[in-house]
Amino acid sequence: MPQTPQFTKKRPDGDTHDRMICDRCGFIDYVNPKIVVGSVISADNGKIVMCRRAIEPRSGFWTIPAGYLEVNETTTHGAEREAWEEACARITITDLLAVYNIPRISQVQLIYRARLAAPDIAPGQESLEVGLFEWNEIPWDELAFPSVHWALDHFDSVRTKDAFAPFTNPPGDMGNMMPGQTSS
Amino acid sequence: MPQTPQFTKKRPDGDTHDRMICDRCGFIDYVNPKIVVGSVISADNGKIVMCRRAIEPRSGFWTIPAGYLEVNETTTHGAEREAWEEACARITITDLLAVYNIPRISQVQLIYRARLAAPDIAPGQESLEVGLFEWNEIPWDELAFPSVHWALDHFDSVRTKDAFAPFTNPPGDMGNMMPGQTSS
């Protein structure tokens, strides 16, 4: 059985930053910012797809389908995959809705606007339940993350627009807990 | 002295992908896509800032200021930092010009449109020379990467527009060598 890694913060020769280096094996853990991809998905009747999280952080709270971009995946394919994994939703991405930055946790979120391409949705492994919500039925007090609220508000503000410049963080708001924050 | 790490490709419990796991210490090396940030920078007279690369890949060829986003850095701050590091250029970012995906190398590029905020530019450590180019003076046959050509064309197509939806890869073009591809 392997031992557990034992990391110490040191600066490798010729590096500009300290890195976490394993005392046992010498592995240097280079940390890069991470990309979260997700989508605000509306049905033909205007209702919005929401998922109640089955996993931490914020298990039991509501979110839009979003998660980490995988290696060798494009950002739109990643958003489509997350919609399928979390809500069994087939979607058609129409626009880039927003780019949110969460520098404290080195996270960049690319959130797309999408249409529900097939009417049926169902909870995926990471969801307790999924639903299609009218705007005023959205569980605003039980949203999992600030960026979910940002994305829903930004989506609603461009419902009538065919094309628009993507949104960024609300002024002065660098966010806190974000989707997938505790994932690697 | 630590040993060298010895990685084997395995699937951690409950994971959807195989990961490289160290046989010696059990460390799981999650590999994530990388974010490149850059900008097409124009001066008040419409000329565009270009840098001739002093480093591989494509040393001696021309590029726009771009490079890897650092930990705890926002995408706009990263683009401003790269403009300063490569061209000693102080810039004012006005729009997100494009999101380019290079899935083969797990790279996402966020390229901004920017104005040159102070007239003086100079070569940074990673540049052999820098210049301000009229559109027809750009060294089109000596551009370092396909995405540089994409970004310049996309920039030129929205010179008269105050707001626009960001561009993506040209149809059918997933690119090949990209800025910073060999960096970590």
- Asked whether residue B82 is domain-assigned, the answer is yes
What is the distance between the alpha carbons of residues B17 and A13, in angstroms, rounded to a whole number?
A: 32
Q: Do B2 and A22 touch (CB under 8 A)?
A: yes
Nearest to B165 among A72, A110, A165 (CB): A165
Cβ neighbours around A175 below 10 Å, total? 20
- Asked whether residue A23 is domain-assigned, the answer is no
- Asked whether residue A133 is domain-assigned, the answer is yes
Q: Do A96 and B165 touch (CB under 8 A)?
A: yes
Quick one: pLDDT at residue B108?
97
**Boundaries of domain holding B83:** 34-158
- Kindly state the average pLDDT of the residues B75-99: 98
- Asked whether residue A9 is domain-assigned, the answer is no
Q: What is the pLDDT of residues B99-155, one digit of tens each?
A: 999 999 999 999 999 999 999 999 999 999 999 999 999 999 999 999 999 999 999
Nearest to B103 among A25, A29, A74 (CB): A74
Mention every residue, 6+ apart, whose C-beta is less than 8 A from residue A20.
A7, A8, A9, A28, A29, A31
Q: What is the pLDDT of residues B33-59, one digit of tens each?
A: 999 999 999 999 999 999 999 999 999
Confidence at B6, pLDDT banded by 50, 70, 90: confident
- CA B3 to each of CA A19, A25, A56, B184: distance values in angstroms, whole numbers, following the listed order: 17, 5, 35, 22
Q: Which chain A residue has the Cα nearest residue B27?
A: A5
* Shortest Cα–Cα distance, B90 to chain A (Å): 21
Look at residue B81 and tell me whether its pLDDT is greater than 70.
yes
Q: What is the pLDDT of residues A58-101, one digit of tens each?
A: 999 999 999 999 999 999 999 999 999 999 999 999 999 999 99
DSSP tag of B159: T
The ipTM of this complex is 0.84
Q: Do A101 and B75 touch (CB under 8 A)?
A: yes
Q: What is the pLDDT of residues A98-154, one digit of tens each?
A: 999 999 999 999 999 999 999 999 999 999 999 999 999 999 999 999 999 999 999
Look at residue B178 and tell me whether its pLDDT is greater than 60.
no
Could you tell me which residue, A22 or B1, shows the higher pLDDT?
A22
Nearest to A71 among B70, B106, B184 (CB): B106
CATH at residue A90: 3.90.79.10
Cβ(B51)–Cβ(B65) below 8 Å: yes
Quick one: pLDDT at residue B9?
86
DSSP string computed for B35-86? EEEEEEEE-TTS-EEEEEESSSSSTTSEE-SEEEPPTT--HHHHHHHHHHHH
For B146, the enclosing helix (H) or strand (E) is: helix B146-157
- Asked whether residue B7 is domain-assigned, the answer is no
Mention every residue, 6+ apart, whose C-beta is less than 8 A from residue A60.
A52, A53, A128, A142
- Asked whether residue A180 is domain-assigned, the answer is no
What is the distance between the alpha carbons of residues B124 and B130, in angstroms, rounded to a whole number?
A: 9
- Asked whether residue A18 is domain-assigned, the answer is no
Which chain B positions have a beta carbon within 8 Å of A99's beta carbon? 75, 96, 110
Q: Which amino acid is at B62?
A: W
Q: Do A32 and B28 touch (CB under 8 A)?
A: no
Cβ(A161)–Cβ(A94) below 8 Å: no
Cβ neighbours around A64 below 10 Å, total? 28
Which chain B positions have a beta carbon within 8 Å of A31's beta carbon? 71
- Asked whether residue A80 is domain-assigned, the answer is yes
Q: What is the pTM of this model?
A: 0.85
What is the distance between the alpha carbons of residues B117 and B41, in angstroms, rounded to a whole number?
A: 10
How many domains does the structure of chain A reveal? Answer: 1
